[in-house]
């Protein structure tokens, strides 16, 4: 499932073709994805100007002139693709319609935004912009790791007394927004923290060190356009490239990248997810 860098990459790719632009026609080609679409979704989108695009955790929000916001979750295989952009950001002409093009937005600048999702684990909803933060999918999400509310004292306090492994704590969206399996593995490696260590037993100084490391990992991934492992594509249809920079994720059996270390990367399963780490460098 796309994590924060992939969602941020898609949002930034959509913005030039959508921000300040009218949706002249919206096509909704099925009644649902993971959940049913809101009532009259095509009608409520058609004719609205997209005032701004923003991201909250792993969700994209398009604020509309109607006072509603279109909430988008990519799920496992969802893609938001731009074609025919007159601003010259994309080189793709409008492709022929495909079987899994579930929602299509025709913009008045000639761009077409297509939500394609073969597995249909994605989701869309329309919600009141003013009260969007109270929506059931957003209300319990923690601070954004690239924002000012995520800082050393906040993370130290969030970890205090927790007996869960630090890997699980960082995946808890109530503690910090948008982190997923890939970037937690990479951040813990850079911090030298074993993923199975109990969050509440890690020293305050080591917990504090995670904050800039998490930001650095996410920033580098966004700069590389995210990580393309299976289904992820950017809004222009191209792959992300951060997977070529992984230190531990997916590298089971390979030698640790720390120059003086001779250990191989190991894999364990935590809460049903693969965790990759170096037993020598992470304690």
3-state DSSP percent of the chain in helix, strand and coil, to 5: 25, 25, 50
Q: Is 122 within the bounds of a domain? A: yes
Point out the domain boundary residue: 87, 107, 134: 134
pLDDT at position 229 is 54
Is 127 found in the same domain as 8? yes
Is 22 found in the same domain as 73? yes
Q: How far apart are CA 40 and CA 20, in angstroms?
A: 23
Torsion of the alpha carbons at 141, 214, 279 and 180, rounded to the nearest 10? 40
pLDDT at position 234 is 59
Q: Is 162 within the bounds of a domain? A: yes
Residues with a catalytic annotation lie at: 2-3, 58, 273
Q: How many domains does the chain have?
A: 2
pLDDT at position 210 is 98
- Kindly report the CATH number assigned to the domain that includes residue 73: 3.20.190.10
Q: Which residue has the tokens 């304690």?
A: 283
Segments forming the whole domain that contains residue 217: 152-277
The H or E element that residue 112 is part of is strand 112-116
Global pTM value = 0.91
Q: What are 3-62's pLDDT values in tens digits? A: 999 999 999 989 999 999 999 999 999 999 999 999 999 999 999 999 999 999 999 999
Shortest CA distance to 105 belongs to which of 59, 57, 56, 64?
64
Is 129 found in the same domain as 158? no
Question: Which residue positions in the chain have pLDDT lower than 70?
Answer: 85-93, 227-242
Is 187 found in the same domain as 115? no
Is 89 found in the same domain as 38? yes
Q: Please give the order of strands across the beta sheet that includes 101-107.
A: 23-28, 101-107, 112-116, 79-83
Question: What is the DSSP pairing of strand 101-107 with strand 79-83?
Answer: unpaired
Is 119 found in the same domain as 28? yes
Sign of the torsion angle spanned by Cα atoms 113, 116, 120, 122: negative
Sign of the torsion angle spanned by Cα atoms 118, 120, 121, 122: positive
As to burial, measured by CB atoms within 10 angstroms (0-12 exposed, 13-18 middle, 19+ buried), residue 182 is buried
DSSP state of 248: S
């Amino acid at each position: 499932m796309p994590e924060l860098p992939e969602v941020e990459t898609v949002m930034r790719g959509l913005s030039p073709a959508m921000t300040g632009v009218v949706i002249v026609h919206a096509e909704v080609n099925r009644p649902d994805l993971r959940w049913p679409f809101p009532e009259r979704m095509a009608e409520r989108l058609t004719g609205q100007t997209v005032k701004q695009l923003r991201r909250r955790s792993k969700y994209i929000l398009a604020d509309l002139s109607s006072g509603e916001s279109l909430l988008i979750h990519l799920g496992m295989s969802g893609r938001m693709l731009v074609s025919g952009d007159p601003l010259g950001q994309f080189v793709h002409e409008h492709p022929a319609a495909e079987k899994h093009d579930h929602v299509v937005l025709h913009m008045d600048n000639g761009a077409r935004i297509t939500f394609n999702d073969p597995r249909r684990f994605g989701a869309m909803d329309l919600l009141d912009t003013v009260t969007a933060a109270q929506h059931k999918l957003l209300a319990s999400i923690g601070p954004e790791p690239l924002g000012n509310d995520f800082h050393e004292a906040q993370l130290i306090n969030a970890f205090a007394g927790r007996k869960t492994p630090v890997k699980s704590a960082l995946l808890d969206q109530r503690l910090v927004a948008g982190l997923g399996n890939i970037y937690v593995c990479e951040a813990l490696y850079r911090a030298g923290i074993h993923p199975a260590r109990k969050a509440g037993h890690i020293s305050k100084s080591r917990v504090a060190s995670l904050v800039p490391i998490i930001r650095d990992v996410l920033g580098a991934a966004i700069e590389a356009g995210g990580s393309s492992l299976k289904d992820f594509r950017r809004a222009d249809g191209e792959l992300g490239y951060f997977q070529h920079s992984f230190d531990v994720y997916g590298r089971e059996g390979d030698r640790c990248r720390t120059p003086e270390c001779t250990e191989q990367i190991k894999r364990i399963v935590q809460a049903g997810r693969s965790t990759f780490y170096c037993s020598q460098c992470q304690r």
